[in-house]
Structure 1
């Protein structure tokens, strides 16, 4: 039988991470939004995050990939990263959410994670650039998705067999390692495709 979501132990560590990730992600989105506004006001300006042909923001911001929905992608971050901050602070304040709320939160993070994976692929294999503020977003999105997904699985919020719930509970403590392994995969892909080390040294 699935546990009563309202009676499960409060995930304090997860809540703290949600607040930290939300603040970092929101700041990255805000910084990118300001860079985009700056470039719109002065097309000849150089973005402060443009360090080289390889490491820059401008190419990403001005590409169609940088405005998939008809407006700059960072605006999605400005709106979206508020959710983890609010959820994390609410949990720390003692709030307990209904199952449907966690489902919606997990669905939103799944879409964000999928979008980030797509952006990583576009950045490395199509645009051939590494956007600093974009990478900050990648860094916080990946472990946030892992942590929330494992939480909803281990608590039974998402229906799953007992073995899956136990595995999720075990893996919860390994989220930092899972994130580092994910970063390593991205780094290897970037090195193979863009020769990052060769451009730096």
Structure 2
């Protein structure tokens, strides 16, 4: 196997494409819901399942348009980047250090924004938006994976031994994501008694 093949982050590339596609689809569905709300005022969104599990409260709040336009539009544009980066990596592209740092900066912004939205959703709006949660679910592990690649892939200069150790942490990303989801669920349960409501929404 060539050095290029060995160094190509195939797993990361596939995940970026998958996560980007899922995140984009969630943003697209939220955009459709926002358009339906604008054309049919007062009509419940198709993702409104209960007082707790719904999209309308989030979309209609000021938190749903922080930058002066609906947040889903950020997702429609932003999730294209991981898809493009993942496809480029699979094609064998060797991306420059500045590009990786800029991309990681974008993912850090997305992660921070999602953490803020989670807090707003749980503690201010007291709702869990289904498509928002899909976005949270893919943003969190994608951020972890991209930041880890900065170390494991040698984007940030360090010794070969440290890079090997960083690569070893890659296997822990799924567990880190699951722990993060559990923390969010625990916060939602403490604040809103979310678990019974979610179970009733899914199986009731």
TM-score by length of 2: 0.91
Q: Tell me the residue number matched to 2:120.
A: 122
Question: 1 CA distance for matches of 2:119 and 2:161?
Answer: 33
Question: 2 CA distance for matches of 1:55 and 1:188?
Answer: 16
- How far did residue 185 of structure 1 move? 0.4
RMSD of aligned Cα (Å):
1.7
Alignment of 1:46-57 (within 5 A): 46-57=44-55
List runs of 5+ in structure 1 lacking aligned partners.
1-5
Q: Tell me the residue number matched to 1:83.
A: 81
Q: Is the 8 A contact 1:20 1:85 kept in 2?
A: yes
| SS of residue in 2 equivalent to 1:48 | coil
Q: Tell me the residue number matched to 1:187.
A: 185
- How far did residue 156 of structure 1 move? 2.5
Question: 1 CA distance for matches of 2:90 and 2:165?
Answer: 26
Q: Tell me the residue number matched to 1:147.
A: 145
**How many residues of Structure 1 are paired with residues of Structure 2 in the alignment?**
196
- How far did residue 196 of structure 1 move? 1.3
Question: 2 CA distance for matches of 1:94 and 1:59?
Answer: 44
- How far did residue 153 of structure 1 move? 1.2
Q: Tell me the residue number matched to 1:70.
A: 68
Q: Tell me the residue number matched to 1:15.
A: 13
- How far did residue 155 of structure 1 move? 2.2
> 1:4-61, CA deviations, whole angstroms, 9 ceiling, x for partnerless residues?
xx89700001000000000000000000000001001111111000000000000000
Q: Tell me the residue number matched to 1:58.
A: 56
List runs of 5+ in structure 2 lacking aligned partners.
none
Question: 2 CA distance for matches of 1:148 and 1:137?
Answer: 16
Q: Is the 8 A contact 1:8 1:155 kept in 2?
A: no
Question: 1 CA distance for matches of 2:196 and 2:13?
Answer: 40
The reply on whether 1:171 has 2:169 as its aligned counterpart is yes
| SS of residue in 1 equivalent to 2:7 | coil
Cα 1:99–1:76 shift into 2, 3 Å: same
- How far did residue 166 of structure 1 move? 4.4
| SS of residue in 1 equivalent to 2:94 | coil
TM-score by length of 1: 0.92
Question: 1 CA distance for matches of 2:164 and 2:130?
Answer: 37
Cα 1:170–1:58 shift into 2, 3 Å: same
